[in-house]
């Protein structure tokens, strides 16, 4: 692999180790106590807080900010964790600029919201640093629940079910828990192995047994799980990746963005990661931005995100778009890939300008070429296979508002399920709500 990489311009060591360490520092440095106090003082503690309505997990934001203001960040953390047990990670990765902070009254009045995400991190970090766990487990119910997938939805459901006294077995196909928190989020958003530390902290509730290397299709069937357990919760994510369907997309130098991000997140020394000189990312969501920005931070000279629609249609928030451009990433709109060129390895990508007709993307016939020795595909992920007997909706598992599937005693949530946005915070809410519905169902 290395020899073809060298030939195609993809190489490690484009920057010094120290430059890379500096580049991948914390995107939003943590508040100290004084900064948190000043930030909390800006909150109006609205009676009908719009920030709380905008939070998918309905955290009582005015309450936790008041607790920070009164010098009790651990109490604030408890308020957060009551609703969102992965509040520490959500504080780091939530697009707060399009959720709670976008509707903040300070944002409306002054164009500068209360920094809710950073305050949430301050509180949750304070409690987690003290050690121990803020919740205790209820007496055992004797009921057993299987969870497939140890991502945000699965972990959220597992914690809530264990807290309510059920015995939980989590089946995770990968060698580590955390799902996208561990494998799919930019390294500068989750530093110091936070995802793994958060999982260890969550598991302190007790009553949760995780079996790694275990997933649907990997020796595990839904029928067998239903026979062995009182309820099943599926949080299997989206493991398949959409194809570009463009000639040459399988040339050396072309790969899935999610695979690149996962490799980066699991690397112990980022300076050993190979990156191209001219990188092109196809897509318009958070994954596209994460792949593009990290390519730049690793030393790629030219990085371009090519998106088939206009800027307003991009899945990535304006904050994420601005972050990309601030790091030197070029954003191109209304272009789609038609071919990847090069002898064996990629050297150029051919893009066609697009127009939007009746909401649909169509090519105009006019093309351009960009140098591209590395191409990342970030055009969405799909459900792999169809779990036995489950009805699908828009290529996801069809569920009701509490996560019930078309099969009795089987629930689903997170990215694999129909409904909400593909966000960590939404997955946490879906896991929590399904757990409450499973509890009600099991306890009659």
Output the pLDDT for position 419: 82
Three-state DSSP class for residue 254: strand
Q: What would the mean pLDDT of 342-358 be, rounded to a whole number?
A: 95
Question: What token pair was written down for 124?
Answer: 């949750």
Are 11 and 345 contacting, i.e. CB atoms less than 8 angstroms apart? no
Three-state DSSP class for residue 316: coil
The more confident residue out of 7 and 358 is 358
Output the pLDDT for position 285: 95
Output the pLDDT for position 8: 57
Three-state DSSP class for residue 308: coil
The more confident residue out of 344 and 291 is 291
Domains and CATH numbers, the chain: 33-129 (1.10.1060.10), 144-239+383-442 (3.50.50.60), 242-377 (3.50.50.60)
Instruction: Give the separation between CA 171 and CA 211, rounded to whole angstroms.
Output: 5
Tell me which residue of 358, 385, 56 sits closest to 215, measured CA to CA.
Answer: 385
Give strand ranges (E) for 100-235: 144-148, 167-172, 208-212, 215-216, 219-220, 231-234
Are 376 and 281 contacting, i.e. CB atoms less than 8 angstroms apart? yes
Instruction: Give the separation between CA 427 and CA 155, rounded to whole angstroms.
Output: 10
Give strand ranges (E) for 190-277: 208-212, 215-216, 219-220, 231-234, 240-241, 254-256
Quote the percentage of the chain above a pLDDT of 90: 91
On the question of pLDDT at 7 being above 50, the answer is no
Tell me which residue of 441, 408, 430, 422 sits closest to 85, measured CA to CA.
Answer: 430
- With cut-offs at 50, 70 and 90, classify the pLDDT of residue 76: very high
Question: What token pair was written down for 381?
Answer: 């992920």
On the question of pLDDT at 5 being above 70, the answer is no
Q: What would the mean pLDDT of 338-347 be, rounded to a whole number?
A: 95
Share of the chain residues as helix, strand and coil, in percent rounded to the nearest 5: 40, 20, 40
Q: Tell me the pTM.
A: 0.95
Among 5-19, 60-74, 93-107, 324-338, the least confident range = 5-19
* Exposed e or buried b per residue across 73-109, where buried means at least 16 C-beta atoms within 10 angstroms of its C-beta: bebbbbbbbbbbbbbbbbbbbbbbbbbbbbbbebbee
Could you read off the pLDDT of 108-165 as tens digits, one per residue?
A: 999 999 999 999 999 999 999 998 899 999 999 999 999 999 999 999 999 999 999 9
Instruction: Give the separation between CA 402 and CA 103, rounded to whole angstroms.
Output: 26
Tokens 């050993």 correspond to: 272
Could you read off the pLDDT of 192-245 as tens digits, one per residue?
A: 999 999 999 999 999 999 999 998 886 799 999 999 999 999 999 998 888 899
Q: What is the mean pLDDT of the chain?
A: 95
Instruction: Give the separation between CA 172 and CA 212, rounded to whole angstroms.
Output: 5
């Amino acid at each position: 692999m290395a020899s073809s990489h060298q030939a195609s311009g993809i190489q490690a060591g484009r920057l010094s180790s120290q430059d890379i360490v500096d580049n991948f520092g914390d995107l939003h440095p943590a508040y100290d106590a004084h900064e948190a106090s000043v930030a909390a003082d800006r909150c109006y503690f609205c009676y009908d807080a719009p920030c709380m309505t905008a939070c998918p997990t309905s955290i009582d934001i005015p309450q936790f900010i008041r607790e920070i203001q009164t010098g009790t960040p651990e109490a604030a953390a408890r308020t957060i964790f009551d609703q969102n047990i992965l509040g520490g990670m959500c504080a780091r990765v939530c697009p707060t600029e399009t959720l709670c902070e976008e509707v903040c009254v300070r944002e409306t009045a002054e164009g500068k919201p209360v920094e809710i995400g950073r305050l949430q991190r301050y509180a949750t970090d304070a409690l987690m640093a003290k050690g121990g766990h803020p919740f205790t487990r209820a007496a055992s119910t004797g009921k057993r629940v299987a969870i497939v997938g140890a991502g945000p939805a699965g972990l959220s459901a597992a914690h809530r079910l264990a807290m309510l006294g059920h015995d939980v077995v989590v089946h995770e196909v990968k060698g580590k828990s955390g799902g996208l928190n561990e494998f799919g989020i930019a390294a500068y958003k989750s530093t110091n192995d936070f995802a793994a530390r958060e999982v260890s902290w969550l598991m302190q509730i007790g009553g949760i047994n995780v079996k790694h290397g275990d997933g649907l299709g990997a020796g595990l069937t839904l029928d067998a799980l239903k026979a062995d357990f009182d309820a099943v919760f599926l949080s299997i994510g989206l493991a398949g990746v959409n194809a570009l369907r463009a000639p040459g997309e399988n040339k050396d130098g072309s790969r899935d963005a999610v695979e690149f991000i996962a490799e980066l997140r699991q690397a112990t020394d980022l300076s050993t990661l190979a990156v191209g000189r001219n990188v092109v990312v196809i897509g318009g969501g958070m994954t596209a931005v994460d792949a593009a920005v990290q390519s730049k931070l690793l030393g790629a000279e030219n990085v371009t995100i090519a998106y088939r629609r206009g800027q307003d249609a991009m899945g990535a928030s304006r904050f994420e778009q601005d972050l990309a451009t601030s790091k030197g990433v070029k954003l191109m709109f209304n272009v789609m890939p038609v071919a990847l060129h090069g002898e064996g390895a990629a050297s150029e990508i051919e893009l066609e300008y697009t127009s939007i007709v009746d909401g649909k993307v169509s090519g105009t016939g006019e093309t351009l070429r960009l140098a591209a020795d590395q191409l990342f595909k970030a055009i969405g992920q799909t459900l792999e296979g169809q779990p036995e007997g489950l009805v699908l909706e828009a290529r996801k598992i069809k569920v009701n508002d509490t996560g019930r599937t078309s099969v009795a005693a089987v629930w689903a949530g997170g990215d694999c399920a129909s409904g909400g946005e593909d966000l960590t915070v939404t997955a946490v809410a879906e896991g929590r709500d399904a757990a409450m519905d499973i509890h009600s169902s099991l306890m009659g």
